[in-house]
Amino acid sequence: MKRLIDKLRHYHSLTGEEYANLLSCQDTGTLLYLQQQAREVTLAHFGNGIFIRGLIEVSNRCRNNCHYCGIRKGNTAITRYALKRETILECCREGYALGFRTFVMQGGEDPALTDEWIEKTVAAIHCEFPDCAITLSLGEKSREAYERFFRAGANRYLLRHETHNEEHYRKLHPEEMSLKHRLQCLQWLKEIGYQTGTGIMVGTPGQTLTHLVEDLLFIEQFQPQMIGIGPFIPHHDTPFGTEPAGSVGMTLKLLSLFRLMHPSALIPSTTALATLSPNGREKGILAGANVVMPNLSPREQREKYTLYDNKAAFGAEAAEGLRALAQQLETIGYRISTDRGDYH
Ligand code: SAM
């Protein structure tokens, strides 16, 4: 197994069978070796600085009905909100003063947030904070819309493909959504020039090892600049409300494999990982992640952006908790980097 890990580190590529062997490996010594190799690669590329991104959850309204997601259209039990442009700018001001140089606007596919509104909001952030990167995570849009946002100043876009297997995609999403269209969006984003992020949830209902191998092979070939990977966590008011959460161990294993596959990729230690495991954030970093995304949303709205149960949004997971985050990172030998953290 160590031979496969060395091979991935040197050639950044394995066969499907080789990935499958690593994914099914349970040997503690091998898994420690995998993490250690991934960590070494991260340190060689980025040193011990962890990039911070200020996450602003702009709307929890969504036209989609993804079976796993707590803000799906069909969930009538949550209070919906959408932030005003001025509130988003206020969040950016607060974040800028704290040292953030990347703002991430994430939200459901809210029909009220028109392309024009998004374009103007991006332009307003860009005008006031020209030294900051703007990341969008607003779902599937037309190519023209992506182009407009890019011209207005957005630099990065996060759109997880969720699973690269057609049948599994259909199990997770309603009929009107398609994997083909999601992949088309990812292609557009890359062509336009965005630093593009994709990724998956680990442990969604029906996910098999073969599906994960398909995800690894897709990401190996697509070469995204950012890779978002976190465990699935059930939300009680969704069709998957009683399903078990994904495994922290498998998430960490995949994270390390992605690091060896793409040494310079920006890989967050996700909120879902921090939610599921007490030291999840640190574990992600020790497995090869180099980004964290503290929550910059207005405090009174955070509890309404409930993608899954018990989602962490306060303490070290919050922008105002940066000192706590810095302390946690220090205990494992890392520090916060306030650089923009672009892909190179
Ligand atoms: N609507 C945009 C989109 O689809 O990309 C952005 C918002 S969406 C809520 C952001 C991500 O949250 C999704 O890509 C998904 O992977 C993650 N997510 C949603 N429900 C989740 C759950 N129950 N557990 C873990 N992650 C979840």
Enter the ipTM.
Answer: 0.99
Mean pLDDT of the chain: 96
Which tokens is 196 given? 């593009």
User: What are 120-128's contacts with CB under 8 Å, separation 24+?
Assistant: 120/85, 120/152, 121/85, 121/88, 122/149, 122/152, 122/153, 122/154, 123/152, 123/153, 124/85, 124/89, 125/88, 125/89, 125/92, 125/153, 126/152, 126/153, 126/154, 127/153, 128/89, 128/92, 128/93
What does the pLDDT read at residue 316? 74
284: Cβ below 6 Å to ligand 1? no
Annotated binding site: 62, 66, 69, 137, 162, 182
Superfamily for the 48-245+296-337 domain: Aldolase class I (3.20.20.70)
Per-residue model confidence (pLDDT) at position 35 = 98
Residues in the annotated binding site for S-adenosyl-L-methionine? 162, 182
111 C-alpha vs ligand 1 centroid, how far in Å? 17
**Could you tell me the maximum CA-CA distance found in the chain, to the nearest angstrom?**
54
- Would you state the pLDDT for residue 108? 98
The pLDDT of residue 112:
95
Q: Is there an atom of ligand 1 within 6 Å of 233 CB?
A: yes
pLDDT at 176: 94
How far apart CA 130 and CA 340 sit, in angstroms, is 11
Q: How far is the CA of 307 from the centre of ligand 1 (A)?
A: 7
Contact partners, residue 120, CB within 8 Å, separation at least 6? 85, 152
Identify the pLDDT of residue 197.
98
Q: Check: pTM over 0.90? Answer yes or no.
A: yes
Ligand 1 atom 19, closest CA: 69
**Every domain of the chain and the residues it spans:** 48-245+296-337
* Residue ranges, the chain, pLDDT below 70: none
Whole-number pLDDT of residue 333? 97
Alpha helix locations (H) across 248-321?
Answer: 248-261, 271-276, 280-286, 299-302
